[in-house]
Amino acid sequence: MIDSIAFLSMHTSPLLQPGSGDAGGMNVYIDELSRTMAARGVRADVYTRRIDPDDPEVVEVVPGYRVFHVDAGPASPLPVAALPKHVRLFARQVEALLRLDPPQIIHSHYWLSGWAGLLVKRSLGIPLANSFHTLGRVKDESRRPGEPPESLLRIAAEHEVIEGSDCVMASTPIEAQELLEFYGADPNRLCTSPPGVDHRLFRPGSKNRARQRLGLAAGAVVLFVGRIQPIKGVDVAVEAMATIVDRHRDATLMVVGGPSGPRGLSEMSALRRRAVELGLAAKIRFVGPVPHGLVPDLYRAADVVMVPSRSESFGLVAAEAQACGTPVVATRIGGLTDVVDDGSTGFLIDGWDPEDHAEAVLRFLDDPELAAKMGASAVKWSRRFSWDATFRRYIELYKGALGLS
């Protein structure tokens, strides 16, 4: 029986609001996974780096789910590029805590935590599972022209974590294939399990009432939800609006999320400038991050959700939007090819040509019946992503890593 798990999330805490800084889908994933484990009697302790001197040592989120703030480097936010030099200290601090109350298994998230998890495993002999969420070599394959490649340190660390983990977790079969193709992962230690969606929160509802609660005027609403950074393709959505507005003068693009990563602020500035250059300053609303509990109303209020990412191991925004009954236009890449049922719950677009993405969005705006039909299909399709199913699968995988029947 699995009754205790240590989750490592060095670079970002599940307590942070998604859409700001380095907080995004991974934060939601770890929080929901921990809540699910705790609700089913499995103790879930999350270890993250302290970024505020006032952060308490331990936060009990719900009974059975705690977040530990670990001192590793200055107690302030740091860019990911500055964190590798603090990995060994983070690992030593986690190791000291785990010696007092060892879990049955460690499940690390992202390459930095995987590196730390590998050090803890070697010291304490506790089996290690790792979820990468994004892969450096995969990001390099589709990065925007002019963007710098991922560091060689990251690539080397990913290879080492894959080699040393007892179970490497992939969110989709596509990610599993990428781990095999780009990293030569051992298929016997490669495990696949998609994240879930909280269907109590993300469910269909009245578009009109959602728009009233959000204070939105009449007209078509195109929605982007995610962190503002080049990999998320917000620039594609902004450029696409020039074509969309030509046919739907009342259309508005809502961009929900804040700057993230080393180029986040410059990306936000560039997007605002481009909106002005295109004459779309009044048609594009930069909303900033919102609490996760308010996101369902945004999905319900939208006519279509755009996910023009350049890399996605899963695509939680697409899964959540579909659960709310809103069709999706996304890039045909990574986990999005598994999350979106092309032609049934939305459209997948090859590449990042704004015209191609715009034409797919216009198919929904021009044909509300098509949007309603695909929205209904999206709700049914989204039921395959549930935290109950994720829990059962993870317990099965953890048992495999521990050699339990």
CATH number for 4-196+386-402: choose from 3.30.930.10, 3.40.30.10, 3.40.50.2000, 3.50.50.60: 3.40.50.2000
Structure tokens at 322: 């579909």
- Which is higher by pLDDT, 261 or 41? 41
What's the rounded mean pLDDT across residues 212-229?
93
CA 145 to chain centre: 23
pLDDT at 101: 92
Nearest Cα neighbor of 42 from 390, 313, 391 is 391
CA distance 218 to 252: 10
| Residue-by-residue DSSP string for 28-86 | HHHHHHHHHHHHTT-EEEEEEE--STTS-SEEEEETTEEEEEE--S-SS---GGGSGGG
Are 308 and 237 spatial neighbours (Cβ–Cβ below 8 Å)?
yes
Query: Look-up: residue for tokens 């298994």?
Result: 105
Name which of 151, 155, 174, 175 is nearest 163 in CA terms: 155
Per-residue pLDDT tens for 252-268?
Answer: 999 999 888 778 889 99
- Residue whose C-alpha is closest to residue 302's, from 229, 230, 214, 388: 214
* Residue 305 pLDDT: 98
CA separation for the pair 48, 94 (Å, rounded):
9
Average confidence score pLDDT of the chain: 94
Q: pLDDT at residue 19 above 90?
A: no
Going through 151-291 in order, the beta strands assigned E by DSSP cover: 167-170, 190-192, 221-225, 252-256, 284-286
pLDDT of residue 403: 86
With DSSP H G I counted as helix, E B as strand and the rest as coil, what are the percentages for the chain, rounded to 5? Answer: 45, 15, 35
Sign of the torsion formed by the C-alpha atoms of 176, 180, 181 and 183 = positive
Quick count: other Cβ atoms within 10 Å of Cβ 122? 13
Return the pLDDT at 405: 64
If you count them, how many residues does the chain have? Answer: 405
CB atoms within 10 A of CB 327: 29
What is d(CA 197, CA 345) in angstroms, rounded to the nearest whole number? 16
Q: How confident is the model at residue 73 (pLDDT cuts 50, 70, 90)?
A: very high
**Percent of the chain with pLDDT strictly greater than 90:** 87
Question: CB neighbours (10 Å) of residue 81?
Answer: 12
pLDDT bin (cut points 50, 70, 90) of residue 86 is very high
Angle, helices 354-366/368-382, rounded to nearest 10 degrees: 100
So what's the pLDDT on residue 308? 98
Report CA torsion sign: 222, 228, 234, 239: positive
User: Phi, psi at residue 121, to the nearest 5°?
Assistant: -60, -45
How many of the other CB atoms lie within 10 Å of CB of 232? 26
Structure tokens at 154: 């990251």
Confidence tier at 174 by pLDDT (50, 70, 90): very high
What pLDDT score was predicted for residue 20?
Answer: 66
| Per-residue burial over 372-386, b = 16 or more CB atoms within 10 Å of its CB, e = otherwise | eebbebbbebbeebb
Q: In this structure, what token pair is assigned to residue 317?
A: 């925004």
Give 23's pLDDT tier (boundaries 50, 70, 90). low
Q: In which element (H, E) is residue 139 found? A: helix 136-142
Do 4-196+386-402 and 207-382 show the same overall fold?
Answer: yes
| C-alpha–C-alpha distance, residues 384 and 376, integer Å | 14
What CATH code is assigned to 207-382?
Answer: 3.40.50.2000
Q: Which of 103, 116, 92 is nearest to 165 (CA)?
A: 116
Domain boundaries, the chain: 4-196+386-402, 207-382
> Distance (Å, rounded) from C-alpha 161 to C-alpha 166?
10
pLDDT at 22 over 90: no
Q: Which residue has the tokens 């934060």?
A: 27
Give mean pLDDT, residues 270-293.
93
Mean pLDDT of all residues in 31-35: 95
Take residue 377 and report the two structure tokens written for it. 């299909």
Given a cut of 70, whether residue 168 has pLDDT beyond it is: yes
pLDDT band of residue 133 (cuts 50, 70, 90) is very high
Q: For 338-372, how does the pLDDT look when each residue is reduced to its tens digit (9 = 90+)?
A: 999 999 999 999 999 999 999 999 999 999 999 99
Residue 79: pLDDT over 80:
yes
> How are beta strands 304-307 and 328-331 bridged, if at all?
parallel
Residue 30 C-alpha from the chain's centroid:
10
